Amino acid sequence: MNFKEYLTWYRDVVDKEVEGWFYPIDVVVMYGILKELQKDIPGDICEIGVAYGKSAIAISNFKERNDKLYLYDIFPDEVYKKSLENIKKFGTPENLIWRIQDTTELKHGIKFFDRPLRFLHIDGCHEHSAVLGDLQFFSQYMVDRGIIVLDDFNDYEYPGVNSAAIEFSLAKYNEKNWRVFAIGDNKAYMCQKKYVFTYQSLLAMFMKEAQKKLEVPFPLPLGLREMMDINVLMCDSREDWDLNKLIEKIYDKPRIG
């Protein structure tokens, strides 16, 4: 099926049968990252916090055939069985590696992944300390052009997601200068600061083209807002900016002080 058909199928079938939340605009953004922005970047994929497999289904369908998808969670047995069943039914179950582990208790010293990660989705415990710990630990296993996704960013019920992202960005140990470069409906997307302009431009162009070429059946309004020392791409903006104006503004440095 083409991408428009996939979105309709995901809405009408997966969304109704699989418990959880995965908003349509973030489905489009993740598709764009995994299939377009990172299509020439080798590396595996990891999700922290699988629950019933709603986002893992889409990620498994968007990854390359040979990519391994590592799935971390501390499931009750019945949830693990249901998640496995859902991914087998709706996703691509090849090259999945399940790890029933608490990521806040992981320690360095063993080989966690066969290859560095190009894509990481953090959707586990949403408390500040847990999110910060996952960012600190797993960012060390990312490829140079890797992307980290934070679930429930800007959700008033989980303020620790935002505070952890800010503390991590400002920390001295963040030697590779990870920054939030884009925000979807309830997810934030991070990359190293040196790739912010590139990823924002590519994602903006993909989103604009997706409306026409992929026939995405809902609006994809884009805008920019200052966040720390960069402008952040808003993927569900209240005002839809002209693409040329948007890309020009991406390269402007926010006025601080």
Domain range for 124 is 3-103+114-216
Report residue 256's pLDDT band, with 50, 70 and 90 as the boundaries. low
* DSSP string across 108-127: SSS---SS-EEEEEE-S--S
What is this structure's pTM? Answer: 0.96
Give the pLDDT of residue 168: 98
Extract the runs of DSSP E, i.e. beta strands, from the chain.
44-48, 69-73, 96-100, 117-122, 142-151, 178-183, 187-192, 223-227, 230-234
Per-residue pLDDT averaged across 232-257, rounded?
Answer: 89
Q: Kindly give the pairing relationship between strand 187-192 and strand 223-227.
A: unpaired
**254 within domain boundaries:** no
Report residue 107's pLDDT band, with 50, 70 and 90 as the boundaries. confident
CATH number, domain with residue 16: 3.40.50.150
**16 within domain boundaries:** yes
Kindly report, residue by residue over 192-234, the tens digit of the pLDDT: 999 999 999 999 999 999 988 999 999 999 999 999 999 999 9
Report residue 111's pLDDT band, with 50, 70 and 90 as the boundaries. confident
Q: Kindly give the pairing relationship between strand 187-192 and strand 178-183.
A: antiparallel
**231 within domain boundaries:** no
Per-residue pLDDT averaged across 234-254, rounded?
Answer: 92
- Percent of the chain's residues with pLDDT above 70: 99
Number of domains in the chain: 1
**61 within domain boundaries:** yes
Report residue 251's pLDDT band, with 50, 70 and 90 as the boundaries. confident
Per-residue pLDDT averaged across 171-197, rounded?
Answer: 97
**123 within domain boundaries:** yes
**226 within domain boundaries:** no
**248 within domain boundaries:** no
Would you call 159 helix, strand, or coil by DSSP?
helix
Is the pLDDT score of 88 beyond 60?
yes
Report residue 257's pLDDT band, with 50, 70 and 90 as the boundaries. very low
Per-residue pLDDT averaged across 240-246, rounded?
Answer: 95
Among 34-38, 128-132, 210-214, the least confident range: 210-214
Distance, CA of 126 to CA of 132 (rounded, Å): 9
Residue 21 region, left (φ>0) first, then alpha (ψ -120 to 50), else beta? beta
Per the prediction, the chain carries an average pLDDT of: 95
**129 within domain boundaries:** yes
